[in-house]
Amino acid sequence: MVEPDNTKLSIRDLTIRFGNATALNKFSLDIRRNEIFTIIGPANSGKSSLLQSLNRLNDLNPVYQKSGTVLIDGQDVDKIDAESLRKRVGIVFALPFPLPLSIFDNIAYGPRMHGIRNKKKLSEIVEKGLRDAYLWDEVKDRLQTPAMNLSGGQQQRLCIARILAVDPEVIMFDEPTSGLDPISTARVEETLRVLKQRYTIILVTNNVAQAARVGDRTAFLLMGELIEVDETKHLFTSPKDKRTDDYITGKFG
């Protein structure tokens, strides 16, 4: 079991339903501070639903029902107001969704919503976010141009910069490289390793090799059940469950 003070997020008996469809069933898991926690599993295994329960984005779905609890630093997420929770637990989606604004305004969007008006302060935040997402050098001369004009890989790093600008504690990546070429993917993975020093990172990925490359610990999900969770190197070298073995060796999924 994990040391209590080292636990960032604690998921207890979480069951998620959308209407009649069960997305997650009696799910329990602890995520530690400053680790890269990777979640693998075939499509429809409940990975994205899990993420969106952690920052309560699922609450926007009218047919969403849940039971069980999610604790962040020991506090029930349902007892925190959704805006503050989402500020602490950021998410980067599979597809980059830049807002139809300039690069600068995209990244300043979050801080502005949280009440930062000072231009100098905003510029600092934007620059820092872009630098941390390794995008600064590519865009520093065109911050006022539309973010939609960036390439796919740049847009994804823009979305990372945008969440960094909000200064979260946990960042969740929902298949962040599924639409990217290998070079952009390598850049994003490198970013993850650096970010881990300051943030707790949860990475959902369809790419088993990616989980093996960047994960500290890995969980394998199948049909809404947690099959196995372990140190990444153990899970990939000596999985305890046959289904995990089958999945990581590519026999199904």
Partner 1 sequence: MKVQLQQKIAFSVLFFCTLLVVVPVLLILVIISIKGFSAIDLGFLTEMPTSGMTAGGIFPAILGTLYLVFGAILFAVPLGVLSAIYLVEYSKDNVLSRLVRLAIVNLAGVPSVVYGLFGLGIFVLFLGFGASILSGSLTLGIMILPVIITASREALESVPRSFRIVSFSLGASKWQTIRHSVLPHALPGILTGTILGLGRAAGETAPILFTVAAFYLPRLPQSVFDQTMALPYHLYVISTQVPGIPENIRYGTALVLLLLVLLLNLAAIILRYRFRKRKKW
Contact positions toward partner 1, by CB under 8 A? 55, 57, 60, 62, 82-84, 86-87, 90-91, 93, 95, 97, 99-102, 109-110, 112-114, 145-148, 162-163, 166
Identity (one letter) of the amino acid at 32?
Answer: R
In this structure, the number of other CB atoms found within 10 A of the CB of residue 54 comes to 22
In this structure, the number of other CB atoms found within 10 A of the CB of residue 194 comes to 12
Residue 163 CB, shortest distance to partner 1, in Å, is: 7
Residue 107 CB, shortest distance to partner 1, in Å, is: 10
Residue 58 CB, shortest distance to partner 1, in Å, is: 11
Structure tokens of 137? 């050098």
Q: Which is nearer to partner 1, 27 or 93 (CB)?
A: 93
Cα(21)–Cα(23) distance, integer angstroms: 6
Q: Which is nearer to partner 1, 142 or 234 (CB)?
A: 142
In the chain, the DSSP E strands lie at: 7-18, 21-32, 36-40, 64-72, 75-76, 89-92, 170-174, 200-204, 217-222, 225-231
Residue 102 CB, shortest distance to partner 1, in Å, is: 6
Structure tokens of 101? 């604004």
Do the beta carbons of residue 54 and residue 37 sit within 8 Å? no
Coil vs helix vs strand at 17: strand
Residue 9 CB, shortest distance to partner 1, in Å, is: 17
Residue 152 CB, shortest distance to partner 1, in Å, is: 15
Cβ-based neighbours of 70, under 8 Å, separated by 6 or more: 9, 10, 11, 12, 14, 53, 54, 76, 77, 78
Exposed e or buried b per residue across 152-182, where buried means at least 16 C-beta atoms within 10 angstroms of its C-beta:
ebbbbbbbbbbbbbbbbbbbbbbbbbbebee
Pairing of strands 36-40, 200-204: parallel
Residue 110 CB, shortest distance to partner 1, in Å, is: 4
Q: Which is nearer to partner 1, 42 or 146 (CB)?
A: 146
